[in-house]
Amino acid sequence: MDERFAFLAEWYDPSAALLRRYQLLYYPKDGSVEMFDMKNQRTFLRRTKFDELHPEDLFVGNRVNIFSRQLNLTGYGDQYTANKLGSKKERTLAMIKPDAVTKVGNIIQMIYDANLIVTKAKMTKLTWKQAADFYMEHQSKSFFNNLVQFVSSGSVIAMELMGDEAVTTWRKVLGPTDSGVAQKDAANSLRGQFGTDGTKNAGHGSDSLASAARELEFFFPSTTGHGPSNTAKYSDCTCCIIKPHAISEALTGKILKSIIENGFEISALQMFNMDRVNAEEFLEVYKGVVAEYTNMVDELCSGPCMALEIHATDAPRTFREFCGPADPVVWSQQVSGVPELISQHTIRGKIWEVMKRQSTQRRLPVRDTA
């Protein structure tokens, strides 16, 4: 019998206004899927090959798109799957401190390179009290006040990371707590590259699974509330969406790095999972205007996206110019010399070149909107 992984999944049916529950079966041998209707006790989808679902997408809490249905994976469907996959999917809290926020692109690339994935992210500005509550375990330490003062002095970026031994792996990426030591003993670590001392040391990482659970709940509460507020300014800005396929192809770090290096300020950042209704509403201005509208909606709700507030003078115009043409492939086929121009001067062109080298599917990595 072929190996299979089983997950409990939920799908909200907007037509019937019902939450439908399924068992999702995934067969790694050929990438096929099968779905079983839990309520009606019958097969909903016979075993069918589905190339858009990958083993790395299979973890509790993720949202996957199966033939235009957004399924929330709520639990393991059997003990074999829990034993096989559950122990490999640790979660930890990563925080980029104020001194390294402008290096977010580099840092996210380091996260990808360490075989970790970012499942949640938010830029926020902690109050003194919030920072003190977060570091309450260090309250008796001599460095406590300086640490709280520094962490509350500017924006931070909190992220949930997931992967094999995520707690240990992320702390290894961070390097020694003292940046001076890191620069000597682990020069390629995050603190070795971007830290200054023991407090201004670029990042924070949970030291255990128990600490990770507490710290993730602080920034990304699972019950009530939304955690610390975001940093959106809502003035002199435009919105940029890093699309799901770019995130799944590990292009997020490169995109953020290019945005910052070209003089734009990322004044707010947050990852979202959009359902189809919200995606249709967000893109409604394109309905009946562009032939790709349905495909645009499909893409936006196919996985996590990252919303950015881009702050700059005349941001809508300058950032759209920076992003480049909506379809660089078509333009490059029609205009002589354009591929080189796009690659040199626009984010879509640069990322397009990366995607071609990686032999990925040809879809745009970012969307800009006034």
Asked if 107 and 96 count as a contact pair (C-beta separation under 8 A), the reply is yes
Burial 167-179 (b: 16+ CB within 10 A, else e): bebbbebbbbbbb
Beta bridge partners of 156: 124
Out of 204, 226, 245, 311, the active site residue is 204
245 annotated active-site:
no
360 labelled ligand-binding: no
Whether 49 has a binding-site annotation, put simply, is no
Identity of the residue numbered 180: G
Query: Does residue 91 have a known ligand-binding role?
Result: no
Report strand pairing: 156-163 vs 203-205.
Answer: unpaired
What CA–CA distance (Å, rounded) separates 109 from 255?
10
Cα 46 to Cα 195: distance, rounded to the nearest angstrom: 53
What is the number of other CB atoms lying within 10 angstroms of the CB of residue 209? 13
367 marked ligand binding residue: no
The answer to whether 135 and 144 are in contact (CB under 8 A) is yes
How many residues are recorded in the chain?
A: 370
- Residue 361 burial (C-beta neighbours within 10 Å; 0-12, 13-18, 19+): exposed
Question: How many CB atoms lie under 10 A from the CB of residue 79?
Answer: 10
Residue 295 among known ligand-binding residues: no
DSSP assignment of 206-229 equals -SSHHHHHHHHHHHS-SSSS--S-
Q: How many CA atoms lie within 13 A of 188 on its CB side?
A: 6
Alpha helices in the chain (DSSP H): 79-85, 104-113, 128-134, 144-151, 166-174, 179-185, 190-194, 209-219, 244-248, 252-261, 276-282, 293-300, 315-323, 328-334, 338-345, 347-357
Ligand-binding annotation for 42, yes or no, is no
Torsion of CA 10, 12, 13, 19, to 10 degrees: 70
Tokens of 343: 């690659």
- Residues taking part in catalysis: 204
Annotated binding site for ATP: 97, 143, 171, 177, 191, 201
